[in-house]
Structures are given as structure tokens and as C-alpha cells.
């Protein structure tokens, strides 16, 4: 089985998000970018399948976004067989529709049996890339997966619903699965192993194909910070002061243990 | 493009999902502005046909086929893409649930209809639809315009429709292709019930990514012990296996409404807030002063949880022994 895992670099949400001059995007130039955490879950699930099913190969694909080399080499260090970097000008960010269009063209040439991708990213204003990709390629898809295992020539997907209910669905490949969480937490890889992978090279570079001209169909008027309906009363002082205030607040509400 | 507003009605195990009334309420408001109808789409295998009569819509499009016995993404996409082509609605609304997340993008790619995801606001302004959407984990909102298209709507964005159903029910033929699906439903697995039920607790000490590792869960356990509460968690903690999935609060976990919810190291992603924002008293401990959790908390502190939590445990224990 050949599994392809598209990986995206996304804004680190811990950062303070400032808007660009016309207020239609975040100011990307000074932001820190990290590997989309859901794509890391998809990679882990792919590696788990590879370990359990001899003959499985895993290919990761990423657009040439800030620090993508780190993400792709880390994937190789963790056990991915191939890493492909798609060259192009993506500094301004691209829509999910454009990303899906580029990935669809690349994946068509990769003879994938299965595409595992993070179910979402923090920048999915025009939808999640995985399902857009599936729709573009007319492939079956299942989103919000918390387990993907080989099953009767295809895969069995555990699809998560609210309140802990799970549906199990058998899917014939090739298919696109949007991974919410791998069956285990993404494995850790030491920086030294990532450096080794970098020294060994092995990043395949090719130019990204042109995205379909249609784009997302959305026109962004503005981005803005939401005004909270209410705001917490912030408690000052050191930890002991805060703890004393909180203990009093809890006591005043009659919530202390009888 | 027509003027109708199409709404996919989500239902599971014989019950209509809460999202349906919220989406249909908005659909009727928008349809009044466009001069169209609010059309509810009910895909079912016959056993859920009776749900149609209770839907607050102008018209219910009832599509019956055995492939709709459970949610199968491919079957739903075929049906919805077919209805969008036939009815040419101005807008198609789905809930931002597992079902909606699975369908919306696929439908957008297949029908070339634009998609506004994580939608929390929708208005018609002349020829354009203006949608407001959560982006960057809810830290920002994006106001976009589109000629029409699809919106996947966040839970609680719109008030539920009032009034009973009584809509005209129109039977619509099932689409071609349902006999050749590339997926099969195997089983519905109910959640484990052997662990404590966090929805039944008065006091929850909830830990997020900021707790750092499973070796630190003890700090929260100690505080829970001092308060007579139980430890719960946000998604990353459950995914990492630091606490069982039964303790997860949020969209894909449990919705809780305790008397006291202490959020420790939880940033407050929209999916988490959806599960706990109705708690009577919310206290948030997080070093990031911009964390969205402070927007729903009543009291907050940016002091380090590793200092505040033990200090609070100690203060409560001291007060208890003095009493």
C-alpha cells in the first residue's frame, strides 16, 4: 500500500496575530510557522499502518512554505520513505481550494492507495483541504477519523461523532481520510535524527503545478479580532495572592467540600 | 442561481440533531430576504421518515434509500450534489459537525459552489451573501462575501427556530450510484461507560496542553480531591493518552455544565468552548493573556498553573482544616 500524507505549514497560534495593512490577512512576514498538528496526526497514523503492514510505503508532500524542510525531514526521520517539496511562491498564503488543486495534480501522478491528511488546519476559511481534494479527484472520503487500519483490500476507518460515538466504515481505496487523531500520540523524533536526515538529503524537489484559476470563490472583506461578549475578571498578584482570591470566590459560592 | 436555502438535516439513531433547528431558523430568515423557501433535506432509510413532519421548514425534501440508514459520506455527497444541481439554491447550510465537515468541502469541489467554513454569521446583502467565520482557532473572525454557495455553521451560532413543523413534505427520488458505493457501514460503537460520567459532576478540574505531561495530572487530581470534584481534559490531553477519552470535554467529547469549571492550561479552542461555556462558574488559569478561554471565563489569571494550582489546593485544604 502506498500512503500519501500532504503536510501544511500553519501559523503558530501561540503567537500574537497582527493584521496586514488592508486587514484581509494576518501579517505573515514575522509570524512563526509550524507543521499543522492534524497533519502530524495523519503522518503518525500512516506510520502505524506501515509498521503493521509490510510493503507499505509512506510519501509526504509539502508546499514550499516557511520551515517546511524541517517538517519534511522530521517525517523522513520518523520513518516516511519519500518526501516531496513543491516549489512555488506561497509566502502570501493560499486558499484551501488552491492547495487542493495543486495537491490533486501531484497526487494523480503518485499512484496513491490512500491519502491521509489532517482533518483541518487553523486556516481553513474556505473549507478543509482533504475533502476538497477528494471532491476534486472524485475519491471517497471519510473525515474526523480516529483510527485507520487495513481491511479487506481497503481500510476500516473509525469516524468520530460527538459524545464519544464512533462509526466504523469500510472504504475501498484510493480514498482520502481526514485524520483527527492517530491511534497513538505522534512519535517524538530527536533533533539529532532530523539533522541526520537533512545531511542524508533525500528531499525531492519539484515545481508545484498551477492551481486552478477559479480559486475559493470567496472575497475577504476583513479579518478582525472578535469582541468577547464577556471578559474574565483577571486576578493580579503572585500565585499565592491569586490562590487566596480563588479560594474565597469558591467559598463564597458555597462550593467548598462539606 | 435560485433563491432557496437548502439545509441538510442531521439525524442519528432516530433523533434530529440540535443543529437542525438552528440552521432552519437562519434559513427561514434568509429565505424571507431572498424571496425563496427554506428547504430541509432529510436523507433516511424509511425508519426516520416521521422526523420530517416536525421540522421547522417551508418544505422538506425527503429522500429514502437503504444507503441512508447511517451516515455514509459518499451516499450523502451524491444526494446533496444532486439536490444542489436540481434546486439551484442560493445557499446550502450544513452544521460544522463530523457530518458537515465531511460533506461541505467535497460538495464545494464537486459543484464549484464557494464554501464558507466555521460560519457564525450569515446575511444577504443584495446580490451577495456575507458570511462571518472563525479562523485561526477562533482568535480572529473573517468577514467574506460570495454570490451564494455553502456554509458550514458552528453550533450555537444562530438561535433555534421556534414553532412546530407542519412543512410540506415532498418525496424526492434517490440519486443514481447508491448501489455502487466505495464504502460500507460496519458498526456504530457507543462510548465506554465504565469511567466516571463527567456530565454528572458539579465540579470539574479540566487540564489542557499546558499541563505538559501525564506526570503533572496529579496536580489537578490533588485540587479535585480538595474540592470534591473530578479531573477532565481538553482534546490534546485525551489524544496524548494522559487521561481517558471519557474525560474529554468539547465538541467531540462531552458537553458539561458543572457548577464550577477550573480550566488549567487550556487555551479555549472553539471546539472546547462548545462543550463547557455554560458552566455556572468558570475559572481559567493560562499564561497566554490572549487565550480565548478568558472570553468565557468569569475569573482568570495568567500566573503559571504549576504555581497557582498547588497554592489553591493548599489554601482550600487549610480553610477546610480550620473550619
Burial of A234 (0-12, 13-18, 19+ CB in 10 A): middle
Helix, strand, or coil (residue B289): coil
Helix, strand, or coil (residue B47): coil
Peptide bond connecting A174 to the previous residue in cis, omega within 30 degrees of 0: yes
How many beta-carbon pairs below 8 A join chains A and B?
Answer: 297
User: Nearest Cα to A180, choosing from A123, A124, A118, A121?
Assistant: A118
pLDDT of residue B166: 78
Pick from A132, A242, A256: CB nearest B320: A256
pLDDT in tens, B111-168: 999 999 999 999 999 999 999 999 998 889 999 999 999 999 999 899 999 876 778 9
Residues of B in contact with A41 (CB under 8 A): 239
Per the model's pLDDT, the better-predicted residue between A212 and B40 turns out to be B40
What is the average pLDDT score of chain B?
A: 94
Interface with B, mutate which of A145, A147, A161, A174 (most B CBs under 10 A): A161
DSSP A82-123: EEEEEES--TT---HHHHHHHHHHHHHTTT-SEEEEES--TT
Residues of A in contact with B139 (CB under 8 A): 13, 17, 225
User: Nearest Cα to B83, choosing from B56, B114, B53, B113?
Assistant: B113
Scan residues 118-137 of B and list those with Cβ closer than 8 Å to A: 118, 130, 133, 135-137
CA distances from A74 to A31, A62, A198, B122, B172 (A): 21, 12, 9, 41, 51
B121: left (phi over 0), alpha (psi -120 to 50) or beta: beta
Give the range among A29-33, A162-166, B125-129, B182-186 with minimum mean pLDDT.
A162-166
Average confidence (pLDDT) over B95-113:
97
Which residues pair with residue B146 across a beta bridge? Answer: B129
CA B316 – CA B203 distance, rounded (Å): 14
CA A117 – CA A56 distance, rounded (Å): 17
β-strands B149-153, B168-172 pairing: unpaired
Which residues pair with residue A11 across a beta bridge? Answer: A33
What is the average pLDDT score of chain A?
A: 94
Contact A250 B297 (CB under 8 A): no
pLDDT of B291 higher than 70: yes
Are B3 and B34 in contact, with CB atoms under 8 Å apart?
yes
Pick from A126, A133, A138: CB nearest B117: A126
Per the model's pLDDT, the better-predicted residue between B320 and B206 turns out to be B206
CA angle, B139 then B145 then B146, to 5°: 125
Percent of chain A with pLDDT over 90: 87
What is the value of pTM for the model shown? 0.91
Domains of chain A, with CATH numbers?
A: 2-207 (3.40.50.620)
pLDDT of B308 higher than 90: yes
CA-CA-CA-CA torsion sign (B100, B102, B108, B114): positive
Percent of chain B with pLDDT over 90: 85
Residues 6+ apart with CB under 8 A from B120: B132, B133, B134, B141, B153, B154, B157
pLDDT in tens, A118-172: 999 999 999 999 999 999 999 999 999 999 999 999 999 999 998 789 999 999 9
Using the Cβ of A64 and the Cβ atoms of chain B, whether some distance falls under 8 Å is answered with no
Give the range among A229-233, B229-233, B239-243, B285-289 with minimum mean pLDDT.
A229-233
Cβ atoms < 10 Å from Cβ of A51: 10
pLDDT of residue A229: 66
By C-alpha distance, the chain B residue nearest A167 is: B188
Contact B299 A233 (CB under 8 A): yes
pLDDT of residue A258: 63
Pick from A26, A230, A243: CB nearest B315: A243
CA distances from B209 to A43, B213, B214, B240 (A): 20, 8, 10, 9
Residues of A in contact with B135 (CB under 8 A): 122-125, 223
pLDDT of residue B1: 86
Pick from B98, B184, B246: CB nearest A160: B98
CA A32 – CA B290 distance, rounded (Å): 17
Interface with B, mutate which of A20, A33, A117, A122 (most B CBs under 10 A): A122
pLDDT in tens, A75-103: 999 999 999 999 999 988 999 999 999 99
By C-alpha distance, the chain B residue nearest A135 is: B106
Are A198 and A71 in contact, with CB atoms under 8 Å apart?
no
Scan residues 212-271 of B and list those with Cβ closer than 8 Å to A: 226-228, 235, 239-241, 245-246, 248, 251-255, 259-260, 267
pLDDT in tens, B14-57: 999 999 999 999 999 999 999 999 999 999 999 888 899 889 99
pLDDT of residue B133: 97
Amino acid at each position: 500500500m502506498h500512503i500519501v500524507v500532504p503536510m501544511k505549514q500553519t501559523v503558530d497560534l501561540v503567537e500574537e496575530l497582527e493584521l496586514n495593512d488592508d486587514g484581509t490577512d494576518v501579517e505573515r512576514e514575522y509570524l512563526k510557522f509550524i507543521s499543522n498538528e492534524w497533519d502530524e496526526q495523519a503522518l503518525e497514523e500512516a506510520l502505524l499502518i506501515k509498521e503493521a503492514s509490510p510493503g507499505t510505503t509512506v510519501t509526504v508532500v509539502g508546499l514550499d512554505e516557511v520551515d517546511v524542510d524541517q517538517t519534511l525531514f522530521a517525517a523522513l526521520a520518523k520513518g516516511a520513505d519519500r518526501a516531496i517539496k513543491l516549489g512555488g511562491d506561497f509566502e502570501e498564503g493560499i486558499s484551501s481550494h488552491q492547495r487542493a488543486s495543486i495537491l490533486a495534480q501531484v497526487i494523480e501522478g503518485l499512484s496513491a492507495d490512500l491519502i491521509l491528511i489532517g482533518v483541518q488546519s487553523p486556516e481553513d476559511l474556505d473549507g478543509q483541504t482533504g475533502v476538497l481534494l477528494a471532491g476534486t479527484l472524485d475519491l471517497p472520503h471519510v473525515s474526523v477519523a480516529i483510527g485507520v487500519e487495513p481491511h479487506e483490500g481497503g481500510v476500516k476507518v473509525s469516524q468520530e461523532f460527538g459524545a464519544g460515538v464512533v462509526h466504523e466504515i469500510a472504504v475501498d481505496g484510493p480514498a482520502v481520510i481526514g485524520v483527527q487523531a492517530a491511534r497513538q500520540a505522534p512519535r517524538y523524533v530527536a533533533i539529532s535524527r532530523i539533522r541526520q536526515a537533512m545531511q542524508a538529503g533525500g528531499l525531492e524537489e519539484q515545481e508545484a503545478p498551477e492551481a486552478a484559476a477559479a480559486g475559493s470563490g470567496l472575497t475577504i472583506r476583513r479579518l478582525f479580532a472578535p469582541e468577547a461578549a464577556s471578559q474574565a475578571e483577571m486576578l493580579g498578584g503572585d500565585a499565592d495572592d491569586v490562590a487566596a482570591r480563588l479560594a474565597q470566590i469558591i467559598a463564597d459560592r458555597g462550593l467548598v467540600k462539606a | 442561481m435560485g433563491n432557496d436555502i437548502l439545509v441538510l438535516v442531521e439525524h442519528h439513531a432516530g433523533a434530529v440533531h440540535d443543529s437542525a433547528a438552528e440552521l432552519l431558523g437562519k434559513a427561514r430568515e434568509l429565505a424571507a430576504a431572498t424571496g425563496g423557501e427554506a428547504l430541509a433535506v432529510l436523507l433516511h432509510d424509511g425508519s426516520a421518515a416521521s422526523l420530517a413532519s416536525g421540522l421547522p421548514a417551508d418544505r422538506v425534501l425527503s429522500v429514502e434509500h437503504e444507503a441512508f440508514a447511517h451516515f455514509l459520506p459518499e451516499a450523502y455527497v451524491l444526494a446533496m450534489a444532486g439536490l444542489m444541481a436540481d434546486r439551484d439554491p442560493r445557499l446550502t447550510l450544513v452544521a460544522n459537525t463530523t457530518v458537515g465537515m465531511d460533506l461541505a468541502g467535497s460538495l464545494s469541489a464537486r459543484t464549484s459552489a464557494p464554501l464558507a467554513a466555521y460560519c457564525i454569521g450569515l446575511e444577504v446583502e443584495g446580490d451577495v451573501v456575507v458570511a462571518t467565520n472563525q479562523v485561526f482557532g477562533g482568535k480572529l473572525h473573517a468577514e467574506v462575501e460570495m454570490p451564494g454557495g455553502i456554509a458550514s455553521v458552528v453550533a450555537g451560532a444562530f438561535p433555534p427556530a421556534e414553532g412546530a413543523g407542519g412543512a410540506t413534505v415532498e418525496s424526492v427520488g434517490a440519486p443514481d450510484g447508491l448501489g455502487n458505493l466505495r464504502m460500507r457501514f460496519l458498526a456504530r460503537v457507543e462510548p465506554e461507560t465504565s469511567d466516571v460520567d463527567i456530565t454528572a459532576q458539579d465540579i470539574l478540574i479540566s487540564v489542557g496542553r499546558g499541563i505538559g505531561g501525564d506526570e503533572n495530572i496529579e496536580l489537578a487530581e490533588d485540587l479535585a480531591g480538595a474540592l470534591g470534584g473530578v479531573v477532565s481534559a481538553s482534546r490534546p490531553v485525551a489524544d496524548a493518552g494522559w487521561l481517558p477519552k471519557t474525560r474529554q470535554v468539547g465538541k467531540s467529547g462531552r458537553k458539561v455544565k458543572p457548577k464550577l469549571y477550573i480550566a488549567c492550561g487550556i487555551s479555549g479552542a472553539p471546539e472546547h468552548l462548545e462543550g463547557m461555556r455554560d458552566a455556572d462558574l468558570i475559572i481559567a488559569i493560562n499564561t497566554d493573556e490572549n487565550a480565548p478561554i478568558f472570553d468565557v471565563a468569569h475569573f482568570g489569571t495568567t500566573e503559571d498553573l504549576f504555581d497557582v494550582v498547588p497554592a489553591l489546593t493548599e489554601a482550600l485544604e487549610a480553610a477546610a482544616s480550620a473550619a
